[in-house]
């Protein structure tokens, strides 16, 4: 992940709302050299508001309405951090996060949306769902629909435009057997639109048999009912709140000027702190108040983009002039819509088609990103293009030398001469005799595949320690070797501090100390660690016996997923950012606890890393003089990995891994087989254990799977 200019300032976008998505899109086209862009959001994807009712009604698939923030961040050259913001320290210019230490900003912008929950309503938190944030509602609704409850009953609290849209969408999705009840606390539903549009929507509610109750105030939410203040009992299998808007509570602690809890901004989109901007529903346009509507965030995005750059450059800013009114297209469940603008109503299927066109045009901006051309010299030396490969070099273990090339390079290495060296090259770690047992030592370095240095440090520390755990040893000490990208002195100090802090946490939890290291500055971030460990005996790759069961402790496919992320891949039905988030989460899980369970019983063990599952299993088989049979359908894979492999995505190291196993892996080609050659960063442990112990061990290893058995014969893998 090479950068062209030193980082001297940080621009942080807090929240993945529509305005920030468009700002990131514009940043990709016009970045500001020397600025590191960071996007923080709790999830890897954000729903587009305009298409949510269509998703609820069943007209759209989930991936059609989601903006993939991870793909967008890659396109924009941005660091993406998947966490929830809990506050701002304006004195230190830090963004406080729920799951990790703060990050610094020079200029920040908030687009964090609003909530529609009812925290003071008894039983709400346990038994109801809020329409906002939209992502959680969409997931809860999909899970509810999948339950296929006969004659389901739905209660929607709040009969504004959003409540009516979602009530009609729910009724359409569930069909005539469903009963949907819409509650309005006041005596008039749809108070914010023209009378003609209101009449049209009330007629749609009546035709859809949606029950509208006015002057109906909920008093309690039960698991299967809503109790009204007048004592009425409304059965409910799914209770939804669309009642008004509520700002996120932490804004009250920022010291910014607020209006009813929302951030007051000027016509330049600046808050009372000129280095903090806000847009979307979390902002109050004090200079020209407007209702909470996504259209204002979309229209404000170009002004916000220009003014964020202006704040960084100390240059003049633009003024945002929101339109007085806008065309409201309100979907009615089936593929029809009601329009409201200047109090003139329109109704019909043609309005749905217009709305659908508008919404799909917006989402198309986040569909396909142009690939950056790879510069080729003219004339090109013979062999240059072949050496470059057909895709950019991957990060992590995907950037390593192939097994055959590595073996050839090490062939002339002299045998160890010191008597305390029990084994050197060839196993996961070198083994040295020490009083009372053995000491193991290993080193590993990773080319960064994420711009989040703290996350990269965690994964690199876990990855380097994997060889120690694979040998059945307890980590002892670690030395760091870090190449930082070019940064200003202040930013360089910050990055090194967060890398070392995160690594120290990983090693400390593993029982090891960080005792020093070395740093340098280069073209891109590379993080490595040399680690030692102590054991009474070392578990090597030799020792597997016919009949042993092979246990794999983590799913495979991370190399393919991260290669697809580099390529900003897009597949129908797959939200790549969610696959990436899951892969990163699994890479962030240490193997120490699983090693503690397996080490006392394993006859052979290794960790699955750069050479892929097939390559590392063959190392066990070569050392043990055995063969293996794998059940291909039993091998766990990360979500999205099989689909990406089927579409032809693979790590840049995968071809070399496959070539190193030619003739030694039998079975028909398939996406699942392709993943056997996929390099894994911070992959799981692969252990051979006696068959009588396998079932008991698996009960103590959540997520681990028995994938095959050791057999007699020449070292080779048979797939069944």
Indicate if 519 and 598 belong to the same structural domain.
no
Indicate if 62 and 130 belong to the same structural domain.
no
> What pLDDT was estimated at residue 192?
78
Residue 378: inside a domain, yes or no?
Answer: no
Indicate if 349 and 206 belong to the same structural domain.
yes
> What pLDDT was estimated at residue 570?
93
Indicate if 252 and 242 belong to the same structural domain.
no
> What pLDDT was estimated at residue 422?
85
Total tally of structural domains belonging to the chain: 4
Indicate if 350 and 232 belong to the same structural domain.
yes
Indicate if 685 and 566 belong to the same structural domain.
yes
Indicate if 347 and 275 belong to the same structural domain.
no
- Of the three residues 368, 383, 398, the one that is the final residue of a domain is 368
Name every residue whose Cβ is closer than 8 Å to that of residue 219 and which is 6 or more positions away in sequence. Answer: 121, 122, 227, 228, 229
Query: What pTM, to 2 d.p., does this model score?
Result: 0.92
pLDDT at 491 over 80: yes
> What pLDDT was estimated at residue 383?
76
Q: Which tens digits make up the pLDDT trace of 122-172?
A: 999 999 999 987 888 988 999 999 999 999 999 999 999 999 999 999 999
CA angle, 544 then 545 then 548, to 5°: 90
Reduced to 3 states (helix: H, G, I; strand: E, B; else coil), residue 263 is strand
Residue bearing tokens 């070019």: 486
Q: Are 630 and 550 in contact (CB under 8 A)?
A: yes
pLDDT at 681 over 70: yes
Q: Which tens digits make up the pLDDT trace of 497-554?
A: 999 999 999 999 999 999 999 999 998 999 999 999 999 999 999 999 999 999 999 9
Residue 385: inside a domain, yes or no?
Answer: no
Pairing label, strands 437-447, 430-434: antiparallel
> What pLDDT was estimated at residue 74?
96
> What pLDDT was estimated at residue 374?
65
Q: Which tens digits make up the pLDDT trace of 595-604?
A: 999 999 999 9
Residues β-bridged to residue 104: 94
Indicate if 485 and 634 belong to the same structural domain.
no
Could you tell me the CA-to-CA distances from 439 to 302, 475, 534, 539 in Å, in that order?
Answer: 60, 10, 5, 12
Name every residue whose Cβ is closer than 8 Å to that of residue 434 and which is 6 or more positions away in sequence. Answer: 420, 534
Residue 344: inside a domain, yes or no?
Answer: yes
Residue 608: inside a domain, yes or no?
Answer: yes
Average pLDDT, the chain: 93
- Of the three residues 535, 567, 592, the one that is the final residue of a domain is 535
Reduced to 3 states (helix: H, G, I; strand: E, B; else coil), residue 511 is coil
The domain that contains 475 carries what CATH number? 3.30.1330.10
| Annotated catalytic residue within 282, 397, 545, 626 | 397
Indicate if 163 and 185 belong to the same structural domain.
yes
Residue 120 pLDDT level (bands cut at 50, 70, 90):
confident
Indicate if 593 and 505 belong to the same structural domain.
no
Residue 262: inside a domain, yes or no?
Answer: yes
Calculate mean pLDDT across residues 655-672: 94
CA angle, 161 then 163 then 164, to 5°: 65
Residue 230: inside a domain, yes or no?
Answer: yes
pLDDT over 90 percentage in the chain: 82
Q: Which tens digits make up the pLDDT trace of 70-90?
A: 999 999 999 999 999 999 999
Distance CA 92, CA 390 (A): 45
Q: Are 644 and 559 in contact (CB under 8 A)?
A: no
> What pLDDT was estimated at residue 426?
62
Residue 342 pLDDT level (bands cut at 50, 70, 90):
low
Instruction: Output the six-digit token pair for 656.
Output: 């070399």
The domain that contains 614 carries what CATH number? 3.90.650.10
Indicate if 574 and 584 belong to the same structural domain.
yes
Q: Are 649 and 564 in contact (CB under 8 A)?
A: yes
Instruction: Output the six-digit token pair for 201.
Output: 């929507």
Residue 576 pLDDT level (bands cut at 50, 70, 90):
very high
- Of the three residues 535, 567, 598, the one that is the final residue of a domain is 535
What's the 3-state SS for 89-153?
Answer: ECCCCEEEECCCCCEECCEEEECCCCECCCCCCCCHHHHCEECCCHHHHHHHHHHHHHHCCCCCE
Distance CA 212, CA 197 (A): 16
Calculate mean pLDDT across residues 323-328: 80
Indicate if 203 and 331 belong to the same structural domain.
yes
Residue 310: inside a domain, yes or no?
Answer: yes
Residue 83: inside a domain, yes or no?
Answer: yes
The domain that contains 155 carries what CATH number? 3.50.50.60
Q: Which of 42, 109, 108 is nearest to 80 (CA)?
A: 42
282 annotated active-site: no
Residue ranges making up the domain that contains 709: 549-719
CA angle, 401 then 407 then 410, to 5°: 100
Residue 402 pLDDT level (bands cut at 50, 70, 90):
confident
């Amino acid at each position: 992940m090479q950068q062209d200019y030193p980082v001297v300032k940080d621009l942080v976008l807090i929240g993945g709302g529509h305005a920030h998505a468009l700002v990131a899109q514009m940043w990709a086209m016009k970045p500001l050299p020397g600025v590191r862009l960071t996007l923080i959001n709790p999830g890897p994807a954000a729903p587009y508001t305009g298409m949510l009712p269509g998703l609820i009604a069943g007209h759209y698939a989930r991936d059609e309405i989601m903006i993939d923030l991870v793909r967008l961040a890659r396109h924009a050259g941005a660091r993406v951090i998947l966490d929830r913001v809990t506050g701002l320290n304006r004195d230190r210019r830090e963004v406080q996060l729920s799951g990790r230490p703060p990050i610094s900003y020079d200029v920040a912008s908030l687009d964090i949306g609003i909530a529609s929950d009812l925290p003071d309503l008894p039983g709400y938190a346990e038994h109801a769902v809020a329409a906002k944030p939209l992502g959680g509602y969409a997931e809860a609704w999909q899970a509810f629909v999948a339950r296929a409850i006969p004659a389901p009953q739905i209660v929607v609290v709040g009969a504004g435009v959003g409540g009516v849209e979602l009530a009609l969408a729910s009724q359409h999705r569930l069909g005539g057997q469903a009963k949907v009840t819409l509650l309005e606390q006041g005596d008039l539903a749809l108070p914010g639109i023209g009378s003609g549009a209101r009449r049209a929507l009330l007629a749609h509610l009546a035709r859809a048999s949606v029950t509208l109750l006015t002057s109906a105030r909920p008093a309690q939410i039960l698991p299967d009912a809503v109790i009204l203040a007048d004592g009425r009992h409304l059965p409910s299998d799914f209770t939804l709140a669309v009642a008004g808007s509520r700002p996120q509570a932490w804004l009250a602690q920022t010291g910014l000027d607020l209006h009813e809890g929302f951030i007051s901004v000027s016509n330049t989109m600046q808050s009372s702190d000129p280095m903090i901007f806000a847009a979307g529903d979390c902002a109050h346009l004090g200079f020209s108040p407007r209702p909470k509507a996504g259209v204002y965030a979309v229209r404000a995005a170009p002004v916000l983009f220009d003014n964020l750059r202006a704040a960084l450059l100390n240059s003049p800013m633009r003024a945002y002039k929101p339109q007085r009114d806008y065309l409201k297209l309100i979907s009615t469940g089936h593929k029809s819509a009601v329009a409201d603008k200047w109090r003139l109503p329109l109704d019909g299927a043609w309005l749905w088609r217009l709305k659908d066109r508008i919404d799909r045009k917006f989402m198309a901006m986040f569909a396909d990103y142009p690939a950056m051309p790879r510069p080729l010299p003219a004339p090109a030396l013979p062999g240059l293009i072949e050496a470059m490969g057909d895709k950019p070099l991957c990060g992590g273990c995907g950037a390593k030398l192939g097994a055959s090339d590595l073996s050839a390079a090490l062939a002339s290495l002299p045998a160890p001469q010191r008597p305390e060296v029990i084994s050197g090259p060839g196993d996961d770690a070198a083994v040295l005799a020490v009083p009372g047992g053995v000491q193991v030592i290993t080193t590993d370095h990773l080319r960064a595949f994420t711009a989040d240095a703290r996350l990269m440090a965690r994964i690199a520390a876990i990855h380097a320690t994997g060889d120690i755990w694979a040998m059945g040893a307890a980590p002892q000490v670690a030395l760091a070797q870090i190449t930082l990208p070019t940064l200003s002195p202040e930013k360089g100090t910050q990055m090194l501090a967060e890398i070392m802090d995160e690594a120290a946490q990983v090693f400390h939890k593993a029982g090891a100390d960080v005792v020093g290291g070395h740093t340098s500055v280069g073209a891109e971030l590379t993080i490595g660690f040399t680690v030692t460990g102590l054991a009474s005996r070392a578990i090597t790759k030799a020792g597997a016996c016919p009949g042993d069961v092979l246990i794999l402790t983590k799913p495979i496919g991370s190399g393919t997923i991260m290669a697809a992320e580099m390529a900003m891949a897009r597949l129908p039905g797959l939200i790549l950012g969610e696959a990436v988030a899951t892969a990163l989460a699994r890479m962030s899980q240490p193997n120490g606890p699983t090693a503690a369970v397996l080490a006392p019983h394993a006859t052979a063990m290794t960790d699955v890393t750069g050479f892929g599952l097939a390559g590392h299993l063959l190392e066990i088989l070569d050392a043990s003089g055995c063969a293996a049979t794998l059940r291909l359908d039993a091998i766990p894979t990360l979500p999205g990995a099989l689909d990406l492999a089927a579409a032809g995505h693979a790590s840049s190291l995968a071809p070399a891994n496959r070539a190193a196993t030619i003739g030694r892996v039998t079975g028909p080609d398939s996406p699942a087989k392709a993943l056997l050659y996929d390099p894994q960063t911070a992959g799981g442990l692969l252990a051979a254990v006696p068959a009588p112990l396998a079932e008991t061990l698996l009960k103590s290893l959540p997520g681990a799977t028995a994938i095959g058995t050791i057999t007699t014969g020449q070292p080779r893998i048979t797939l069944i």
